[in-house]
Amino acid sequence: YILLIFLCGHLALDLMLHLLAMKKLERATIVKKILDTYYPKTPIPLDHMDTFSLLIAVLLSAQCTDERVNKITPKLFSIAADAESMAKISVNKIYKIIKPCGLGPQKSKAIYELSNILVKKFNGKVPSNFKELEKLPGVGHKTASVVMSQGFGIPAFAVDTHIHRLAQRWGLTNGKNVKVTEKDLKKLFPQESWNKLHLQIIFWGREYCSARSCFGLECEICRTCYPKRTKPFVHKKP
């Protein structure tokens, strides 16, 4: 009897987990359908000419808006449009240009150092793999994921705090941290959709489900995924 109860308990748990998974998949299907309707095309919001300028732009976008980055990068790239040129100018000169982006001292040093590394180790080219990208100064997993997906077209799902927040609101992850969220999203969506979905979710968050509005109650995706939700959704921080 004890063994039977034990087995029944495990079967019940497996069934519950299966049902929860099905609900997640259903919500993921809803999310993708709505996003594809609203954003059939997903232009990269950061202006760039190649993978090097994209890498620099993504690095500068940390805690800074894309609009501000796009105002600053033309001046920076007019002086140094490639790794070789960037490695020859001083950290201070880079800092004076990028200062409005915030975190200027750290970013200017990282840009100078990574440019020198690219010249010395990669003939001035940006490496197309996570291992080498994430070794570069100022380049974390999220930045590397953006460069891999948008620069090289290699499937990656870049998860920042905004995507982390929306994935929680939409019931696609438990919200433990961005690493778990990335893993959960990759399980729910087909690999060929990752690069586009990253941008679609960002666009949706900016336009309809921002950090300071909706709160899981107002936008079409939140209302469709959780029609009975009545209280503002409380997020787990990354």
Q: Tokens representing 106? A: 């750290």
CA 166 to chain centre: 11
The DSSP line for 55-105 is: HHHHHHTTTS-HHHHHHHHHHHHHH--SHHHHTTS-HHHHHHHHGGGS-HH
Are the C-beta atoms of residues 60 and 138 closer than 8 Å to each other?
no
Q: Which residues of 187-222 are buried (b: 16+ CB within 10 A; e: fewer)?
A: ebbeeebbbbbbbbbbbbbeebbeeeebbbbebebb
Rounded to whole angstroms, the Cα distance separating 222 from 65 reads 25
The number of beta carbons lying within 10 Å of the beta carbon of residue 8 is: 10
CA 72/CA 104 separation, integer angstroms = 12
DSSP code of residue 238: -
Q: One of 107, 160, 184, 196 is an active-site residue; which one?
A: 160
The answer to whether 160 is a known catalytic residue is: yes
Q: How far apart are CA 24 and CA 170, in angstroms?
A: 9
Of 125, 135, 142, 231, catalytic: 142
Q: Which residues are catalytic?
A: 142, 160
